[in-house]
């Protein structure tokens, strides 16, 4: 079983180069942030997201997982502009339209084996506050989050006073890596290998090495063009040289 996991897209069509390079894979996971870019126009971002949806719909033989990021959440009509950097007010109606048409494809988290994937990471403190201590466990964590996303989007908005979201109680769309790691010390979530984006980094292996392979920060499509491959339980980084 071969899984490809891609960092924040932000309108980049590089994912097409990656799947053409890899060719044979069973599962493809996007960690979210399909919109808000300084490099691509809103129209290009919308077209890129439409192509991702089309790829999912036309390849039923593959499992295509689309996670939601903070730069997608503020285009859900009931959420609206949250003051997030990069928000595109002039294009909001067009982006809201394609989000609304395809929101059934989006989810907060995905898990298989020992791997837990989300946009920014899942902290035990957020889970305890949101669902109640002792009311969730490693078996239910993904279903709990994805069900909550359908029933109450507002649970995943940015909150608190720390401007970057470096708060252990922050949501899986906003938490920063130091708080994520600290929150899960001694938690059952620490049993997982968490894979996430949200914070741009130059090298996937930087955080993985520091955390001894427990956390992989993969927001590298705009820097090193690295992505993650998990095959038969083994993790490796890969890189595309002709991506844009």
Place 69 in a pLDDT band, splitting at 50, 70 and 90: very high
Cα–Cα distance measured from residue 165 to residue 168, given in angstroms and rounded to the nearest whole number: 9
Cα–Cα distance measured from residue 126 to residue 172, given in angstroms and rounded to the nearest whole number: 8
Look at residue 173 in the predicted model and tell me its pLDDT. Answer: 98
Place 111 in a pLDDT band, splitting at 50, 70 and 90: very high
**What would the mean pLDDT of 227-240 be, rounded to a whole number?**
95
* Max Cα-Cα span within the chain: 48
Residue 229 phi/psi, 5-degree rounding, is -125, 130
Render pLDDT for 189-222 as a digit per residue (tens, 0 to 9).
Answer: 999 999 999 999 999 999 999 999 999 999 999 9
DSSP-assigned beta bridge partners for residue 5: 29, 228
The DSSP-derived string for 2-23 is EEEEE---TT-THHHHHHHHH-
Render pLDDT for 85-94 as a digit per residue (tens, 0 to 9).
Answer: 999 999 999 9
| Token representation of residue 83 | 């003051």
Look at residue 210 in the predicted model and tell me its pLDDT. Answer: 94
Pick the CATH number of 2-239 from 3.40.50.1220, 3.60.21.10, 3.40.630.10, 3.40.50.2300: 3.60.21.10
State what percent of residues in the chain have pLDDT above 90: 93
- CB 163, CB 172: distance < 8 Å: no
Look at residue 16 in the predicted model and tell me its pLDDT. Answer: 97
Look at residue 129 in the predicted model and tell me its pLDDT. Answer: 95
Look at residue 43 in the predicted model and tell me its pLDDT. Answer: 98
Domain chopping of the chain, boundaries:
2-239
Look at residue 243 in the predicted model and tell me its pLDDT. Answer: 54
Cα–Cα distance measured from residue 84 to residue 191, given in angstroms and rounded to the nearest whole number: 32
pLDDT at residue 186 greater than cutoff 80 = yes
Cα–Cα distance measured from residue 68 to residue 30, given in angstroms and rounded to the nearest whole number: 8
177 burial type by CB count under 10 A (0-12 exposed, 13-18 middle, 19+ buried): buried
Look at residue 23 in the predicted model and tell me its pLDDT. Answer: 84
Look at residue 11 in the predicted model and tell me its pLDDT. Answer: 98
First-last CA distance in the chain: 28
Render pLDDT for 128-167 as a digit per residue (tens, 0 to 9).
Answer: 999 999 899 999 999 999 999 999 999 999 988 888 899 9
- The whole-chain average pLDDT of the chain stands at 95
**What would the mean pLDDT of 227-239 be, rounded to a whole number?**
96
């Amino acid at each position: 079983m071969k899984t490809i996991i891609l960092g924040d897209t932000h309108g980049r069509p590089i994912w097409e180069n990656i799947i053409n390079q890899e060719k044979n894979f069973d599962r493809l996971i996007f960690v979210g942030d399909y919109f808000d870019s300084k490099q691509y126009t809103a129209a290009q971002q919308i077209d890129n997201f439409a192509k991702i949806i089309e790829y999912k719909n036309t390849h039923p033989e593959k499992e295509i997982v689309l996670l939601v990021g903070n730069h997608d959440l503020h285009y859900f009509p009931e959420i609206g502009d949250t003051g997030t950097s990069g928000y595109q007010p002039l294009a909001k109606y067009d982006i809201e339209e394609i989000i609304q048409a395809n929101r059934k494809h989006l989810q907060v988290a995905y898990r298989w084996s020992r791997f837990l994937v989300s946009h920014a990471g899942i902290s035990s403190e957020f889970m305890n506050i949101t669902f109640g201590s002792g009311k969730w466990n490693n078996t239910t964590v993904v279903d709990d989050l994805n069900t909550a996303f359908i029933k109450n989007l507002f649970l995943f908005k940015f909150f608190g006073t720390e401007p970057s979201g470096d708060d252990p109680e922050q949501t899986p769309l906003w938490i920063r890596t130091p708080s994520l790691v600290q929150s899960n010390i001694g938690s059952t979530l620490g049993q997982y290998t968490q894979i996430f984006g949200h914070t741009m980094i130059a090298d996937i292996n930087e955080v993985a090495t520091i955390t001894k392979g427990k956390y992989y920060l993969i927001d590298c499509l705009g820097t090193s063009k690295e992505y993650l491959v998990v095959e038969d339980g083994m993790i490796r980084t890969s890189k595309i040289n002709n991506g844009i």
